[in-house]
Structure 1
Amino acid sequence: MTRSVYVTGIGRGDGRQVVELGVMELLTRQVDRVGVFRPLVHDDGPDRLYDLLRSRYRLTQPAASAFGMTYAEAATLQAEQGMDELMSRLVDRFHGVAKDYEAMLVLGTDFADTGLPAELALNARLANELGAAVLPVVSTTRDQGPEAVAAEVRNAHHAYASLGADLLAMVANRVGSQEARDALGSLAERLPEPVYVLPEEPALAAPTVQQVKEAMGAEVLLGDHSGLSRDVRHLVFGGAHLPSFLPALTEGCLVITPGDRADLIIGALAAHSAGAPAIAGLLLTLDERPGEQTLALAARLAPGTPVLTVPGGSMPTAGELIPLEGKLTAATPRKAEIALGLFETHVDTGQLSERLAVVRSERVTPMMFEHELVERSRAARRHIVLPEGTEERVLRAAEVLLRRSICDLTLLGEPTAVRKRAAELGLALDLLGDGEAPDATGRATARLVDPLASPLRERFAETYARLRAHKGVSYELAYDIVSDVSYFGTMMVREGLADGMVSGAVHSTAATIRPSFEIIKTRDDAKIVSSAFFMCLADKVLVYADCAVVPEPDAEQLADIAIQSATTAARFGVEPRIAMLSYSTGTSGSGAEVEKVRRATELVRSRRPDLLTEGPIQYDAAVEPSVAATKLPGSKVAGQATVLIFPDLNTGNNTYKAVQRSAGAVAVGPVLQGLRKPVNDLSRGALVQDIVNTVAITAVQAQGESPV
């Protein structure tokens, strides 16, 4: 039976999109097919939240099936035929959709000019008719005292409970003061359901420059997509002379000034270029446009920084901007990560997942695999070093990793350059200096370390010179070598100052893993270092190896790769069933390459008789049950293999790329195997989510590692 969650509120503007996004995240961790249903919808344009959910969670649900009817239609139907008929229509519509899904997220009415009387009661009754558990969201205002905040949540609880709603929990959103949070903590002890408290998050309320552009109908004179995605945290009005104006600039501010004030335009952009501070952009008023020379200088001073223009004056423009709030949309994926980080930090997701009572799917989808990575890394947080501290994708990934408490980080690079780049990208990274202590909140933190200036450089040089003395490496040479970010990061891992390292977004594979061969070295139970990819197909996750490191493994090495890959698979929740791949199956073929695979299979079976291993076997017989039934009937691996070992790098690398591109699989990796501590390489084309996944994998690997 479908399990449904109905997220609702008690009034408009409660910010419940954060909760709706968080609940969707929990549901997609547990089941493959999650549907969305909004019973009533405005007819004034696209549904931003639904578009975000559809984009982020790759929903295949037809958009038309996600909505019941418009508010205008509902008001007319209720007036003419009564509430029972309205309920009947909406319930029929819901069940027509829900039959195709394992779980449903229902988005309640928004209390915004709906034309419906007794809207809270309507939501409660509809949830009851749908058989959905209710999750009410109560928003507070900044000037409410602790007693008023607690009373509002208590009254909302009573209102829904008295109407027979099956309450899942209560959520108090945008709670500003610690006193109010304490009061809600006391209230939670007296209610039968949990009360979760989400504090106010300024980064969610801040509109992006793009949203300012759309709201004001502004024209873009300068700026790129990255600049338009910056958050506008403050408004600064430029009217004074430059010496008085510059001290008023703040991080992430939008400068509003008449377009004929070339001095303030150039001054603000020069300050931004110097990193003191990094502004969100400029909004020029009065339809005054700077001259060509001014614009050309502006473009050179701060490339990508947006400069917009509007026809109105500064004060009317300000009147429109001040109430403008940020919105969660498909076009603001960074805000979605911020929202999820807020939800996961302040909601007991384990407790709420249990209360959802959704039966976990047996299939493992790519999204479920990614969710599992995040959950496991959060459970025992580790410290990962990222050598490429000024790279945009790495910085964007760092923000996600910190927001969602996946791990603590060290970013390597010149501190001023890293901070300036993060500010230019509009990222909310609270970067600690080398040696600076974190606060007492227990949140994930990122530290900045400059290998050239760090006091660790001498210590690392002494250690490296000792490790490489047999190669004639002197202290002086080692002092130069360890200043390289890859070597410095690897030394941090060896010395226990970080639990793992991820690099390769801009560095080559060799530059990333060569230091680990020299410094960290292989485990005692591993003969070589190899790699594995997690291939996330539509309905399962397979492990491919080796696709990145060992060109021509012999039988001994192939057996070692298979055993390491089985361990990797098991560590990440994939039950290992090993297929030793070849161009023939069983005894049907012969030749040196087939004999190598046959010998490797025998070695795996003798060393690890507990592992289910089949080989030599062709790919189709390994993964397709109908082929397996013909070629290897009775095999416990054929047709259901999960760990596929390729006979050489040429075959493995081409196969993983072919499957990735042709079947639309998500390839996570390569994950290096056999090192004493985890170091992992990125593709130079890695996306932000690829980096997040690889760091999470590294953190999970580190949870099971022993010291060097």
Structure 2
Amino acid sequence: MIVALAGGVRPRALYRFRGPVTNHGAEPRPPCLLGGGGPTVARVSTRIYITSAEGHTGKSSIALGVLDTLSHELGRVGVFRPVARSTSEPDYVLELLLSHDSVDLPYDDCIGVTYDDVHADPDAALATIVGRFAAVERQCDAVVIVGSDYTDVGSPTELSFNARIAANLGAPVLLVLGGRTSDGQRPRSGADMRQVAELTTTELRSEHAGLLAVIANRAEPGHLDEVVAGIGDALAASPEGLVPVWAIPEDRVLVSPTLRSVMQATGARLLRGDEALLDREAVGVVVAAMSMENVLPRLTEGAVVVVPGDRSDVLVATVLAHASDTFPSLAGIVLNGGFDLAPQVVRLIGGLGSPLPILWSELGTYDTALTITQTRGRLAADSSRKTDLALSLFERHVDGEELLRLLQVSPSKVVTPLMFEYQLLDRARSSRKHIVLPEGDDDRILRAASSLLQRGVAKLTLLGNEASVRARGAELGLDLTDAAVLDPTDHELQVKFATEYAALRAHKGITMDMAMDTVTDVSYFGTMMVRLGLADGMVSGAKHTTAHTIRPSFEVIKTLPDVGVVSSVFLMALADRVLVYGDCAVIPDPTAEQLADIAISSAQTAEQFGIEPRIAMLSYSTGTSGSGADVEKVRQATALVRERRPDLLVEGPIQYDAAADPTVAAAKMPDSEVAGRATVFIFPDLNTGNNTYKAVQRSAGAVAIGPILQGLRKPINDLSRGALVSDIVNTVAITAIQAGTAATEGASL
């Protein structure tokens, strides 16, 4: 009996091989295909060939999902495009995959041949592909091979050639079938999918390409089971046996063009509005060639509105509707017909201060609307929302563990920055803690929140005026539906927080009136949420100083038992491992007792993130070779750590080279269990720590994650005011992990 399941929290393999699966599926084709005798391709790395039977299946999003899945386990993942449209114009699929942090290959090296080369001499083109692929493979632990795009020759011929390439490269095929007809207008039924699967698998079989799994992409959301069953019926009759089948639902955002693409397609220019909003997806078209009262009811969320350039009344009404809370948020407006707006209309719209992009095009209404509807959405390297959404859909509907098992991927012994960042997100996702982000008026925070929610990393509350926060999120094309938004001036919460704060700070002379004013500050408001259990942790600092962010936590969260100070560490993700540096952000000149506190807290932080703590208490001398007050402070701190935590491995005073380099350690401290193998580096003062982490970050290309505050009863973490969206995402994940650990250890206020 065959069970077909398309839904569920964790996708499962739906159809399984009857026999064992080799690492790369089918054996390479005989050399005769290359036009003569020659060696077969050496098996060096994991390979997977992603192809489809037609165009517009969303193959690029599947390739991105596979690439991301492999990068979680392997350090060097490459991409290869056997056939590209040309070598003179950029291939957007290849650019997308090369932009992934796990890939470090030159663009030109990742292309085999062009369509023209295939037309001229298919066998010679195939030989070139094999040779160029081998050069890429030598540099990688795995290679994701992405087939051609069906923009040149007929589908049967093109699928056949892709199958030949896969067989000659010894790469198993991940077949992507479109859940909609090739024009994208009609969803395919289970019977349709069975027919497509029968035709395509027969073509693969005829070219001796091995089938690894099948993904039905862009399937009708309510009919995933039917789609999977249809494909399964086709595979059940095939001689190779059964393989896994997964189905991913259609999502309008992924297939919708950005407003920037609309502008380029219609030959329009930006008349006014926020240029950053051109990257929002236009998920519908409204032709406003009618009176104002008839246009307004037809406005839809995320639509681009086509307005005749001589209908200034409709234009003004549309801009006002977008600014109103009672109408949908629009992607933009296209003024068509080539009419210039009257100066008074331009002044009126300018006075409204709306960031809504207004484009000006010379095309007529029909041509404008037709061009927009024919403009296809692309998953491109600069589309962070689409990337997050594509990865989220892949993770939810494709069993990544099963895919890795089929490819027989063994986890890498090294930990790259990307692998570590994924581990952070994965651990945070497993507990789904509630994190408050006080700076809801910062675009970086909103973008990070959208990414975190798409990937299911944490529950989030944003602080700010709800209407303003959600309106800005909509303008940026972000999905913040699952985020809670709280206003720090909310009277009920203000009274609740002020009462608690006044009681805690009464000994400092804080009155209720003073507390009412204090808790409306976003940092205090967010910290009080954590204090009272309305959130598990807080991340702030994108727009505020470190002092502004962490001062409230000193006042109301307090330190853990047996911890004298709040300190910080950076997780330094080097090319092959992760180290802990502390303190690099909080305490300028710690005493010996404070250094011991920092060391013990840093060791606990290391353990939280899966790093075995071996502590190096750094100084300008090693062992007994030096003297002086600074060295003595480190020596005393080391003794205190050993006294308080005899279970920890600690060495000090020790110089950085002796702590990090086994060769130096063998000469200076040959009997030490820490020297040459240290994972936790404790600096004698803030000046040394801060400069060292920045020097290593810049010179060694390390990813510095932090600062991570430690020693508090509940996690509060600070951001740099220059923080990137990825920094915010990582810090939220870290805070969620800390919150999970605190809950496990039973820390309470």
Same fold (TM over 0.5): yes
1:692 equivalent in alignment to 2:725: no
Aligned to 1:389: 440
2:692 to 655, 660, 663: 655
Which residue does the alignment assign to 2:116?
72
- Counterpart of 1:318 in structure 2 is 369
Instruction: Write out aligned runs for 1:206-355 (5 A).
Output: 206-275=256-325, 276-355=327-406
> Aligned residue for 1:32?
75
Deviations 1:234-287 (A, max 9, x none): 212222233333333222221212223322223222332334333212211121
Q: Give 1:435's aligned residue.
A: none
Which of 157, 160, 164 pairs up with 1:118? 157
User: Which whole-Å CA distance do the structure 1 matches of 2:621 and 2:569 have between them?
Assistant: 23
Q: Distance in 1 between matches of 2:597 and 2:306?
A: 64
Give the whole-Å Cα distance in 1 for the aligned partners of 2:104 and 2:228: 39
> Structure 1 residue 96 and structure 2 residue 135: aligned?
yes
Moved more, 563-572 or 179-188: 179-188
Provide, for residues 31-75 of structure 1, a one-character-per-residue CA deviation record: whole Å limited to 9, x for no partner: 221111111111172111211222232633122210111122112
User: Residue 138 of structure 1: CA displacement?
Assistant: 0.9
Report the secondary structure of 1:658's partner residue.
helix
- Identity of matched residues, %: 50
Structure 2 distance, partners of 1:394, 1:446, is 12
Q: How far apart are the structure 2 equivalents of 1:573 and 1:539?
A: 15
Query: Per-residue displacement from partner, 1:301-329 (whole Å, max 9, x unpaired)?
Result: 24543222221101111111112121111
Q: How far apart in 2 are the matches of 1:162 and 1:564?
A: 62
After TM superposition, list the pairs within 5 Å mapping 1:244-643 onto structure 2. Answer: 244-275=294-325, 276-430=327-481, 445-453=482-490, 455-643=492-680
**Alpha-carbon offset, residue 588 of structure 1:** 1.9
Matched letter for residue 133 of structure 1: P
Residue identity matched to 2:98: R
1:517 Cα deviation (Å)?
A: 1.9
2:80 corresponds to 1:19 = no
Q: Note the C-alpha offset of 1:518.
A: 2.2
Contact 1:272 1:302 in 2 (8 A): no
Q: Alpha-carbon deviation of 1:366?
A: 1.5
State the alpha-carbon separation in 2 of the partners of residues 429 and 185 from structure 1: 34
Q: C-alpha distance in 2, partners of 1:175/1:223?
A: 36
Alignment match, 1:59: 103
Structure 1 pair 581–229 and aligned structure 2 pair: CA distance change class (3 A): same
Partner Cα separation in structure 2 for residue 278 and residue 76 of structure 1: 51
Deviation string 1:194-247 (CA, Å, 9 cap, x unpaired) is 222111111111111111122222222223431211211221222223333333
Deviations 1:72-112 (A, max 9, x none): 2112213xxxx5x5544322221122112111110112222
Q: Give the Å deviation of 1:174.
A: 0.8
The C-alpha deviation readout for 1:504-537, integer Å capped at 9, x for no partner, is: 1112222221222222221124222111111223
What's the CA shift for 1:193? 2.7
Q: Cα distance 1:115–1:239, how it changes in 2: closer, same or farther (>3 A)?
A: closer
Report the secondary structure of 1:168's partner residue.
strand
Letter in 2 for 1:341: S
Equivalent position of 2:212 in the other structure: 168
Partner SS for 1:621: helix
Match runs of 1:150-169 below 5 Å: 152-153=196-197, 156=200, 160=204, 164-169=208-213
Contact residue 76 and residue 102 of structure 2 kept, 8 A:
no
Instruction: Label 1:116 to 1:246 Cα distance change in 2 as closer, same or farther (>3 A).
Output: closer
After the TM superposition, which of the residue ranges 530-539 and 4-13 deviates more from structure 2? Answer: 530-539
Contact 1:72 1:115 in 2 (8 A): no
**1:401 partner amino acid:** L
Higher mean displacement: 121-130 or 385-394: 121-130
| 3-state SS of paired residue (1:56) | coil
Q: Which stretch of the first structure deviates more once superposed, 571-580 or 28-37?
A: 571-580
Secondary structure, counterpart of 1:32 in structure 2: coil
Question: What's the C-alpha RMSD, in Å, of the aligned pairs?
Answer: 2.4
The residue that corresponds to 1:204 in the other structure is 254
1:184 paired with 2:228, answer yes
Measure, in 1, the Cα distance between the counterparts of 2:598 and 2:202.
60
Task: Letter of the 1:36 partner, please give it.
Answer: V
CA distance in structure 2 between the aligned counterparts of 1:628 and 1:289, rounded to whole angstroms: 75
Tell me how far apart the structure 2 counterparts of residues 536 and 295 of structure 1 sit (CA, whole Å).
Answer: 52
| Residue 665 of structure 1: how far off its partner (Å) | 2.8
Q: Which amino acid aligns with 1:447?
A: A
CA displacement at 1:115 relative to structure 2 = 6.0
Structure 2 residue aligned with 1:433: none
Q: Contact 2:224/2:247 (CA < 8 Å) preserved in 1?
A: no
Contact 1:26 1:349 survives alignment (8 Å)? yes
Higher alpha-carbon deviation: 219-228 or 406-415: 219-228
2: CA distance, partners of 1:349 / 1:369: 17
Q: Distance in 2 between matches of 1:447 and 1:116?
A: 48
**Unmatched segments (≥5 aa) in structure 1:** 431-444
Quick one: distance in 2 between partners of 1:221 and 1:692? 34
Separation of aligned partners in 2, 1:125 and 1:224: 48
Output one character per residue of 1:129-187: Cα deviation in whole Å (capped at 9) or x when no partner.
Answer: 22223211111123433443355446655654675544332211111141343552686
Q: Is the 8 A contact 2:65 2:394 kept in 1?
A: yes
1:679-703 residue CA offsets vs partner (Å, 9 max, x unmatched)? 1111111111110110011111122
The 8 Å contact of residues 500 and 678 in structure 1, kept in 2 or not, is answered as yes
Q: 1:497 to 1:298 in 2, by over 3 A?
A: same
Given that 1:75 and 1:116 are in contact with CA atoms closer than 8 Å, whether structure 2 keeps it comes out as no
* Greater shift in the superposed pair: 347-356 or 111-120: 111-120
Partner of 1:2: 45
Counterpart-to-counterpart distance in 2, 1:345 and 1:412:
29
Range moving further from structure 2, 592-601 or 301-310:
301-310
Q: Which of 215-224 and 227-236 deviates more?
A: 215-224
Q: Which moves more between the two structures, 160-169 or 563-572?
A: 160-169
Question: Could you give the per-residue CA deviations for residues 635-656 of structure 1, whole angstroms, max 9, x where no partner exists?
Answer: 3333332211111122212222
How many aligned positions are there? 689
Give distance in 1, aligned partners of 2:131 and 2:374: 39
Q: Distance in 2 between matches of 1:303 and 1:633?
A: 68
Give, in whole Å, the separation in 2 of the partners of 1:387 and 1:123. Answer: 51
Structure 2 distance, partners of 1:212, 1:179, is 31
Instruction: Provide, for residues 342-400 of structure 1, a one-character-per-residue CA deviation record: whole Å limited to 9, x for no partner.
Output: 21122222332333322222222221111111111122222111111221111110110
Measure, in 2, the Cα distance between the counterparts of 1:415 and 1:105: 43
Deviation of 1:455 (Å) = 3.6
Q: Structure 2 counterpart of 1:426, which letter?
A: G
Which amino acid is 2:166 matched to?
Answer: A
The amino acid that maps onto 2:74 is V
2:86 is the counterpart of 1:49:
no
Q: What letter matches 1:559 in structure 2?
A: A
1:30 Cα deviation from its structure 2 partner? 1.5
Give the TM-score taking structure 1 as reference length.
Answer: 0.92
What letter is aligned with 2:76? R
Deviation at 1:117?
Answer: 5.4
